[in-house]
Amino acid sequence: MDPSLIPPPLDGYVLDDAEEWEYFGEGAANVLYRYIGADPFFRPYLLRLRKRLPGAPTTQQLHAYLHSRWGPLLDNYLLKTEIVKLGINIIPDLNSMLAMSDAEEATDWSGRPIRPPKKRRLLDDTESWGLVVEDMSCGNYLYSEMEMRPEPTQEEEEMDDAQDEGSDEWKDMAMIEFKPKWLAQSPNAPVNWVLCRTCAVRHMQSAKEQTKGLLGVPGEEVDLEEEVRDFCPLDLSSGDPARIERATFAILNMENSVMIADPTSPSDDEGDSDSPAPPTLNQKLAKCLESSLVTLLTNFLGKSPIIPLLTTLQSRFGSRGVFTSATLALMGEKDILPSEDEIRRACLATGEKYEPALSDEDDIWTAMTLRDCSLFLKVWVRKRRGKGMEAKIDAKVGDLDLKGGEGGRAVYWRDVERRLRMGGWYSGKGSTRNCRTGQEE
């Protein structure tokens, strides 16, 4: 680990006032908070605090890992992340708020009800550091100036009406979040594969749910053909505009993948329903964006370096797949996958480590992180006077947390590959999709 790659903590800041942060969301290992205080420095960030989980890396370890491992690989596409010192009061106070939200009908920053995990874990009160991460949500730069200024005079209102046809200010109008998944085919797929790794897993899981239904076992009813219409990662990385557009359309129609900012100013009253106010510039931009988002995103994903970069990295790391050299030797020409016990015995006999080495081709930890990362796209729009709508997109990669062998992950990854191959799911049985060609049969 190169210490020169790790930025120092934020100078002059110690966060100790829980009232300056509101709940934003949470995952299995972390809780996110949005800043509502007076310091403009924190406006572009979210505060990420880790939960109390046995054996989890500390915030300092995670910060060092993000910058030393992913900084050189992703450069400016890495979600901006800083580390900040925490005071002694903020974690206990935020934990109290979390406990209260479990007992009350609490809401998050957008007014949506907070639905905590069934077994919520509180923040780690032994942690003295937090991460401030770039906020990729939208709607943060639409109304701030409007909200801060006093009630406008008649002259100012007339000026606003005249300027409403255009503005040089960029508006963060939309955000798209999705996991690109396996942009390069699994190196452990058979040579005659038809489905990519992602689509093969989806198809296997959908068939399993259908089997449960036929047997009368409780489970979610799944339409197999509808399920596999989710986007194919190989479409996204194909370079073919038609395939990229198909993937883009599927991504934009996934649940919770798109957030469009509310174009209505918080300061607006409902007004007289018999004489509705004319649409504002923000409302015009939002309507135009909604109708052109597929085209806009297709062009971006087809031209931006981000998808080719992730594809190249996925091909570089873990290029041998989840099986060790001893495993591949056991498979031999018959291409029959050995059991975990056979893998262990073969490794002992050859002196090979059972867990992967640190070489790029054997580094399945980095490989799997790359296949489980999230891509955040923030769409900025503006309409300048006398011109049409202009748009730009910021792309950042997140969810790059440190992965390791704890919890049997390596065994699980091998087991999935074993089931995919032995079940014939890579061959596309029961599917009309061909991920290799991008065609439907």
CATH of the domain at 92: 3.30.200.110
Is the CB of residue 376 less than 8 Å from the CB of residue 175? Answer: yes
What's the pLDDT score for residue 267? 53
- Do residue 205 and residue 314 come from a single domain? yes
Domain stop point among 113, 134, 155: 134
What's the pLDDT score for residue 273? 54
The Cα 41–Cα 207 span in angstroms is 50
What's the pLDDT score for residue 350? 53
The Cα 172–Cα 185 span in angstroms is 34
Q: Is residue 435 part of a domain?
A: yes
- Do residue 92 and residue 189 come from a single domain? no
What's the pLDDT score for residue 210? 72
What's the pLDDT score for residue 200? 95
- Do residue 184 and residue 69 come from a single domain? no
Helix (H, G, I), strand (E, B) or coil at 185: coil
Find the distance separating the first CA and the last CA of the chain, reported in whole Å.
Answer: 49
Query: How far is CA 420 from its chain centroid?
Result: 25
Q: Are strands 258-260 and 171-178 parallel, antiparallel or unpaired?
A: antiparallel
Residue closest to 108 by CA, chosen among 48, 43, 32, 41: 32
3-state SS, 105-121, equals CCECCCCCECCCCCCCC
Helix (H, G, I), strand (E, B) or coil at 34: strand
Q: Is residue 400 part of a domain?
A: yes
Quote the domain boundaries for residue 87: 3-134
What's the pLDDT score for residue 318? 85
What's the pLDDT score for residue 35? 95
- Do residue 255 and residue 369 come from a single domain? yes
Q: Is residue 86 part of a domain?
A: yes
| Domains held by the chain: number | 2
- Do residue 107 and residue 209 come from a single domain? no
What's the pLDDT score for residue 99? 85
- Do residue 303 and residue 428 come from a single domain? yes
Question: Over the Cα atoms of the chain, what is R_g?
Answer: 25
Q: Residues of the chain whose pLDDT is less than 70? A: 1, 102-119, 143-167, 211-229, 263-279, 281-282, 285, 323-358, 403-408
- Do residue 115 and residue 240 come from a single domain? no
Residue closest to 411 by CA, chosen among 345, 356, 346: 356
**CB contact burial 3-32 (16+ within 10 A = b; e otherwise):** eeebeeebeeeebeebebbebbbbeeebbb
- Do residue 93 and residue 181 come from a single domain? no
Report which residue type is found at 275.
S
Q: Is residue 103 part of a domain?
A: yes
Q: Is residue 90 part of a domain?
A: yes
The Cα 216–Cα 49 span in angstroms is 43
Q: Is residue 290 part of a domain?
A: yes
What's the pLDDT score for residue 135? 95
Q: Is residue 220 part of a domain?
A: no
- Do residue 116 and residue 247 come from a single domain? no
**Percent of all residues in the chain with a pLDDT value above 70, rounded to a whole number:** 71
- Do residue 10 and residue 75 come from a single domain? yes
Q: How many CA atoms lie within 13 A of 78 on its CB side?
A: 17
- Do residue 130 and residue 193 come from a single domain? no
Q: In which residue are the tokens 């503005």 written?
A: 167
Is the CB of residue 131 less than 8 Å from the CB of residue 81? Answer: yes
pTM for the predicted model, two decimal places: 0.81
Q: Is residue 287 part of a domain?
A: yes
Q: Which helix (H) or strand (E) holds 258?
A: strand 258-260
The Cα 50–Cα 67 span in angstroms is 18
DSSP 402: -
- Do residue 297 and residue 206 come from a single domain? yes
Domain stop point among 134, 163, 181: 134
Domain stop point among 108, 134, 160: 134
Q: Where are the beta strands (DSSP E) in 295-441?
A: 374-383, 389-398, 433-434, 439-440
